[in-house]
Amino acid sequence: MNKTEDEVVRLTAECLTRYWKRDYMFVFSHCAPKIVWISARQDEYLLTRDEVRENLETNCAAIPSCHLQHAEFQVAASCSELYVITGKYLVTTDPEEKFFLSAQQRCTFVWENTGNGLQISHIHISNPIGELKIAEDEAFPDTMGKMASHYMKEEILRLTSDRKLSVCDVNGSLIFLQLSDVMFISALGKETVVRTLTDCIFAKNSIKELAQQTQDCFVMTHRSYLVNPQYITAIRRYAITMRDGTELPVPRKKYDEIRRQILSV
């Protein structure tokens, strides 16, 4: 991307970020005199700058403070005077809000390079079919989609689980780890290596001993690997991929059985 394309992508991300922080004037300040605004609500098909400002002001007074997660933006098309930016992201309520909601969104921004700088001539925001149900008079949904529900359950598990894994490190110290923080455990001879997303702990415990502590929520995917299923991002013949990109082998003869165990947990 050239410098202008980089700037347009940055501005698109900032417009959305500020909008969900209820700073509608930042978005409006970048709107061209002639702008089209199309959004997820049935009545949000606006063709004038005044309508867009009124809509932005009304929405920002009603929505909770939110932030973007897993945002991806790219230049779909460009020329010297026109830039089309597309993106996808997850909108999630801020921790201080009194309730939790999270929703997927996709966007298209069309920017014009005018004598007054970069200005938005078109904004289109949409949600995947079935993910959100927004009533006609709502500025923000009050129902939870499948992805948001899954995210919330993972967060609850991570934040409320009080189960601990006790390991004895190579110096003889007893360490207690939050079980939900452990990604996988690998055998190293008669000892083990306990892996989290941020640490690697060498332990004197055998993998059999640690399997007894985790038997109802971890899966022995291989005689040398004990895996926390919530950190698995992909399963294929004959390997699994963990969240940090590590690939662990799965025995051919036990692949179907282990796959069923992972899915059941």
Which tens digit of pLDDT belongs to each residue from 99-120? 677 788 999 999 999 888 999 9
pTM equals 0.53
Above 60 in pLDDT, residue 130? no
Long-range contacts of 29-33 (CB under 8 A, 24+ apart): 30/118, 30/119, 30/120, 31/119, 31/120, 32/112, 32/114, 32/119, 32/120, 32/121
Residue from 83, 85, 71 nearest 124 by CA: 85
Beta partners for residue 83, in sequence order:
78, 111
pLDDT of res. 138? 53
**CA-atom Rg of the chain in angstroms:** 24
Question: Cβ distance 47 to 36 under 8 Å?
Answer: yes
pLDDT of res. 62? 85
In the numeric block, which tokens belong to residue 189? 């001879």
Query: Nearest 5 degrees, angle CA 198-CA 204-CA 208?
Result: 95
Q: Mean of the pLDDT values across residues 169-189?
A: 90
Q: Is 170 exposed, middle or buried (0-12, 13-18, 19+ CB in 10 A)?
A: exposed
pLDDT tens profile 213-224: 887 788 999 999
State which amino acid sits at residue 16: L
pLDDT band at 153 (very low <50, low <70, confident <90, very high): low
pLDDT of res. 29? 95
pLDDT of res. 86? 96
pLDDT band at 149 (very low <50, low <70, confident <90, very high): low
